[in-house]
Amino acid sequence: MKILKYSYIWTLAVTFTLSSCEKFLEIDPRISTSDQVTINDENSAHTAVRGIYNQLQSDGYYGYTFQTIGFFSGDNIEYTGSQIVNQSLTNHSVRADLPALATAWTAIYNTINRANNVIAKVPALSVTPTFTDAVRNQLVGEAHFLRALSYFDLGRTWGGVQLVLVPTSSSNNLENLKRSSLADTYRQVLADLIKAEELLPNSTNRIRATRKTVWALRARYHLYREEWKEAITYASKLIDDKSNYNLLTPYSSFFADNASGTNESILELYYTTNVVNTQAYQWQPSTKGGVGWIRPSMGIVNLLNNKSIAGTRQSLISKVVLNGVDNWFGNLYYRTNGTDPAFLIRIAELYLIRAEAYAQDNDIAKSLADLNVIRKRADIQELNIADKATLLLAIEQENRIEFAFENHRWYDLVRTRRAKTVLGIDEDFRLLLPIPYAQILIDKNLEQNPQYK
């Protein structure tokens, strides 16, 4: 893979990162979630929806902090930076006062509030020759999808949460709103996905939600809910759309050489030189102008360097020798101008969702076929497995390697009840993270997850 050799625009990146670290450490628990946009016409409606995506890709959500909570909780990625408290995620000794938790929680609820604003106000706007029913429906449908994704992320990270379904002017408005159960939280996710599916067009767009994007998230949702037939149905909708979605060869084609918006992507977040993704600065070593605070674990390095296991996915890592020591780093985030996309859903995930669902539904042949599609793309030998348990473990490992530096591993191990065994976690309560202490301070009625203080 060609990694550009010239220096990063570090003046911008370092300033942005230091500013992010300050926010990371000094998060104000009463940060406003106010309605920043007055929605009264077509232009303001479009602006409001763009604002939801802006919050989704913010430093607190998919731009950095939420992603790293999953990264460091799994076993593929390690944190070696100056904020030692982040290592508590890897050690599974995290406390409720970890700053990252408050940062991510606030960013996700800000995303929800922006979506609520659109859902509450855009349907009442009058249609015009340019602001048609179809346009209005699309904007509201996108808001429902983004709210679904936000509650899905809250639920799989913290369990049942407060379900805020109308715009709020401040986090104080959440007081006395009790947490819903995880089942009810997921029911809200599904309700939003169903509504989004109804409103959105059946088109292909890799950076904004369409009906196809809804189908992809529904496949993931049903996998988490262990609703195997539904997961198969929705994954198949994307897999069968081969004119728009397919696996690229070699593996690195979806991210190398400044690629973006390829047929591999179902949904990715788009960054520009004005709205930058600072992940590269965190991942790249000092010899390439970065700080190397985020690194691949030796466990994933060994897997990726085993050609019979990883094949062409070895392109995800490189090494530099510093003071006579090999230092491995990831190649997924590398762009000198901060425009690396954040890959939220790729077609490879849909193949592995369907493979797992088929296996759980005891259709071993179809499961194996989907698994081998992924392996063939990676240029490794196809498997021939007849045993369900062995096949599920093979799918688990394929997920680990295929999405080595994407935010899958921790959540996959938790949902399959394998986290304690694989990661050596002693206590069940550690499988959910604690509600941020800052939120508990605001609302004395907000119940903390069991055994956290």
Confidence of residue 169 (pLDDT cuts 50, 70, 90): confident
CA gap 57, 332 in Å, rounded? 17
Name the CA radius of gyration of the chain, rounded.
21
Identify the pLDDT of residue 85.
78
In Å, how far are 9, 71, 312, 338 from 274, measured between CA atoms? Answer: 12, 26, 33, 9
- Judged against a pLDDT cut of 50, whether residue 9 lies above it is answered with no
> Is pLDDT of 286 > 50?
yes
CATH fold, domain 21-274+341-442, is: 1.25.40
Residue 394: both structure tokens together: 């093979």
Q: How far apart are CA 130 and CA 237, in angstroms?
A: 31
Q: What is the amino acid identity at position 131?
A: F
| Predicted structure pTM score | 0.92
For the stretch 38-50, pLDDT in tens is 899 999 999 999 9
Residue 23 neighbours by CB under 8 Å, 6+ apart = 59, 60, 103
Give the tokens for residue 24. 């990371």
Nearest Cα to Cα of residue 46 among 306, 238, 54, 111: 54
Q: Is the pLDDT of residue 24 over 80?
A: no
Long-range contacts of 254-259 (CB under 8 A, 24+ apart): 254/343, 254/346, 255/331, 255/332, 255/340, 255/341, 255/343, 256/1, 256/2, 256/315, 256/331, 257/1, 257/2, 258/4, 258/335, 258/339
- CA–CA separation, 433 and 448 (whole Å): 10
Predicted local distance difference test score (pLDDT) of residue 30: 28
**How far, in Å, CA of 40 to CA of 101, rounded?**
35
